[in-house]
Amino acid sequence: MELTDLISPETVFADLKATSKKHALQELARRAATVTNCPERAILDVLLERERLGTTGIGRGIAIPHGKLEGIDRVYGLFAKLDSGIDFDSMDDMPVDLIFLLLAPESAGADHLKALARVSRTLRDTGRCEKLRGSNDADALFAVLTDESAQSAA
């Protein structure tokens, strides 16, 4: 599974404004509703339920909120760079400024896990994250995320 299977230039956002974890998830749910044609509230409920199980803030300023959603037929991804870091209850207590949202169909077992693994591998690359943080344009963010030559070097 490649990141281009999950995201497109239209699902990458360079300046998400959020003041809290819940606010960020609300903004992402609103944007995901447009892409998935699912109700914003249903998306937000799935994300909040997953956060109740444990934070998706994985550390180093990165969060990967995810969940399974009724009514979609494939895994969807949205990436957002926040204009400033927010408290996400991350494992390392660092503020989060890079968020990669994943939504999978209810029936997606392996695909959901493959997508999570792929995103995690991509965002584990410190150099790539530095480039993401240095980019203020959605197209540039998309290019950094989907640069396979950088991925194979990691």
Q: Which positions are catalytic?
A: 66
User: Which residue, 47, 33, 35, 43, is CA-closest to 9?
Assistant: 35
Q: What is the dihedral of CA 31, 40, 88, 131, to 10 degrees?
A: -20
Q: Is 95 helix (H, G, I), strand (E, B) or coil?
A: coil
Q: Which DSSP helix (H) or strand (E) runs through 54?
A: none
Residue type, 63: A
Q: Indicate the burial class of 75 (C-beta count within 10 angstroms; 0-12, 13-18, 19 or more).
A: buried
